[in-house]
């Protein structure tokens, strides 16, 4: 199950944060911001310390999952540099499909809204609802 979702913009700012389960502590907004910024930095450095890729293979895109004893963190970075980070239980090994669908929701309900400013926090009820449906269906 998906416990929480973070969306981080191109410059490491947190633009969306939501918890979906009771089992996870609600981070204060400050903590969430620090998490986003730190993860952004580590993600970038990780792609840098990656050993030189073989010829003709695309550059390393950075961290994809982080495992702990109790949970797993999945990161999906779009080619435009937006990161979708989901906190799940350990049963969840692959989450690319669901994160890809979240990317579509982000396109449809944030980007395509002419009043949404790029790189700014997403405040859209439609996005919330659709995201919740997606997470529950998962």
Partner 1 sequence: MEKQYKTIGEDAWKNNVEKVNAELFIFTYGSLVVQLVKDYEDYAAVNKQLDKMGYNIGVRLVDDIMARTSLERCSGFTATAEVISKVGFKLFLNVAPSVASWSADGKEFSLIVDDNPLNDFCELPPKAVQDGLWYSNVLCGVIRGALEMMQMQTEVEFVRDVLRGDDTSEIRVRLLRMLDEEVPASDD
Tell me whether residue 62 or residue 72 sits nearer to partner 1 (CB atom). Answer: 62
The answer to whether residue 50 forms part of the interface with partner 1 (CB under 8 A) is no
The nearest distance, CB 45 to partner 1, in angstroms, is 7
The answer to whether residue 53 forms part of the interface with partner 1 (CB under 8 A) is no
Contact status, residue 6 vs residue 85, Cβ threshold 8 Å: yes
Distance CA(86)–CA(74), nearest Å, equals 5
Please give the residues from 94 up to 113 whose contact with partner 1 meets the rule CB under 8 A.
Answer: 100, 103-104, 106-107, 111-112
The answer to whether residue 11 forms part of the interface with partner 1 (CB under 8 A) is yes
Identify the residue among 24, 29, 41, 120 touching partner 1 (CB under 8 A): 41
Residue 8: CA atoms inside 13 Å, Cβ hemisphere, count? 23
Neighbours of 5 (CB within 10 A): 22
Helices (H), the chain: 29-49, 96-106, 125-137
What DSSP state is assigned to residue 137?
H
Query: Under the rule (CB under 8 A), what is the footprint of partner 1?
Result: 10-12, 40-41, 44-45, 47-48, 56, 58-59, 61, 78-82, 100, 103-104, 106-107, 111-112, 118
């Amino acid at each position: 199950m998906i416990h929480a979702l973070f969306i981080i913009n191109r410059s490491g700012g947190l633009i969306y944060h939501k918890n979906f389960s009771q089992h996870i502590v609600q981070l204060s907004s400050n903590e969430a911001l620090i998490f986003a910024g730190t993860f952004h930095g580590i993600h970038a450095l990780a792609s840098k310390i990656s050993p030189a890729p073989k010829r003709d293979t695309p550059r390393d895109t950075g961290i994809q999952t982080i495992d702990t004893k109790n949970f797993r963190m999945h990161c999906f970075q779009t080619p435009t540099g937006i990161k979708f980070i989901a906190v799940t239980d350990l049963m969840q090994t692959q989450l690319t499909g669901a994160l890809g669908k979240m990317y579509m929701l982000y396109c449809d309900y944030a980007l395509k809204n002419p009043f949404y400013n790029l790189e700014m926090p997403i405040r859209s009820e439609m996005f919330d609802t659709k995201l919740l449906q997606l997470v529950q269906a998962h």
